[in-house]
């Protein structure tokens, strides 16, 4: 019965299909980012298999909708997906890379150019699927995942992870950079929370009177802006931890949003350059959105 919505080859509405593709891309990016950050984390074998399968399924669905399933409608496993890529090459749909046997290329019809490039220069974003290396990585993980570890146990190598990262070039994915930015933001926030906790403990140790004395001394110790002697300097600002006007930024942040890196003379809270950049970005977007 027609329900008023169009459906894809798998019976999903196009909205549902988009959601499925987004989840595959996110899972690929999550697993791949973890492996890229630390090539031998706990559960590396499962991360590789999960990231690889979700990434390749997303690509197959984007390029050849419906062919990600077997005759019973089950999603193809990673090993079968690699055979599908090889079959596409055998059928003349894909070409093998001239410089890398076992690697097949999905061409990107629209090369890109950036402002920093010379006139007429373009970058090809063809997707290279290194079937040989991905299959080797898959085989290396099976010993652990299926309890076959022994004296001949193999491990994931950097080349396996590089082949996994290379899949992100495809339009169906393009998710790895966002995942890495999110992970970087979480790391920066965790480091900043630690700095805040240290400052709070330090305040409790020295007491308000000493903190006030240090804030007063900050006015003498801080080197602010001077058109000739310190053109990059900024004035003291309120510390986000102790709220005393004792935060001494070493310079303005990149977006001039008053979130420069530095340290509080009173409580010792330290804002890193990374935290400075993230806070400035947030403030910048607040201002931009406030214009609408």
Between residues 143 and 29, which one has the greater pLDDT? 29
Of 194-208, 215-229, 257-271, the one with minimum mean pLDDT is 215-229
167, 128 Cβ separation under 8 angstroms: no
Q: Rounded to the nearest 5 degrees, what angle is found at the Cα of 261, between the Cα atoms of 256 and 265?
A: 125
Residue 7: the pLDDT is 40
Nearest C-alpha neighbor of 29 from the set 50, 13, 9 = 50
pLDDT digits (tens, 9 = 90+) for 58-92: 888 888 889 988 888 898 998 999 999 999 999 99
Q: Is the pTM of this model over 0.75?
A: no
> Would the CA dihedral through 18, 19, 24, 29 be positive or negative?
positive
pLDDT band at 265 (very low <50, low <70, confident <90, very high): very high
């Amino acid at each position: 019965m027609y329900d008023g919505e169009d459906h894809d080859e798998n019976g999903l509405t196009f909205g549902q299909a988009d959601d499925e593709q987004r989840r595959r891309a996110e899972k690929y990016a999550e697993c791949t980012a973890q492996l890229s950050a630390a090539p031998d984390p706990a559960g590396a074998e499962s991360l590789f298999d999960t990231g690889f399968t979700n990434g390749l399924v997303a690509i197959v669905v984007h390029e050849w909708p419906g062919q990600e399933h077997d005759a019973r409608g089950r999603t193809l496993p990673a090993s079968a997906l690699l055979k599908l890529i090889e079959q596409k090459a055998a059928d003349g749909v894909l070409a093998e890379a001239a410089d890398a046997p076992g690697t097949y290329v999905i061409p990107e019809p629209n090369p890109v150019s950036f402002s920093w490039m010379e006139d007429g220069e373009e970058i090809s974003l063809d997707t290279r699927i290194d079937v040989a290396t991905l299959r080797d990585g898959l085989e290396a993980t099976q010993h652990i995942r299926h309890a076959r570890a022994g004296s001949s146990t193999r491990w994931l190598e950097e080349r396996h992870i590089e082949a996994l990262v290379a899949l992100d070039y495809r339009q169906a994915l393009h998710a790895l950079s966002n995942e890495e930015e999110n992970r970087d933001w979480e790391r920066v926030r965790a480091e900043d929370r630690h700095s805040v906790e240290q400052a709070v403990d330090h305040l409790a140790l020295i007491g308000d009177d000493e903190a006030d004395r240090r804030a007063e001394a900050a006015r003498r110790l801080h080197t602010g802006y001077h058109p000739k002697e310190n053109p990059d300097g900024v004035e003291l600002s309120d510390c986000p931890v102790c709220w005393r006007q004792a935060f001494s930024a070493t310079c303005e942040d990149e977006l001039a949003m008053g979130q420069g890196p530095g340290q509080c003379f009173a409580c010792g809270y330290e804002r890193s350059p990374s935290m400075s950049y993230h806070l400035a970005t947030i403030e910048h977007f607040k201002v931009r959105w406030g214009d609408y």
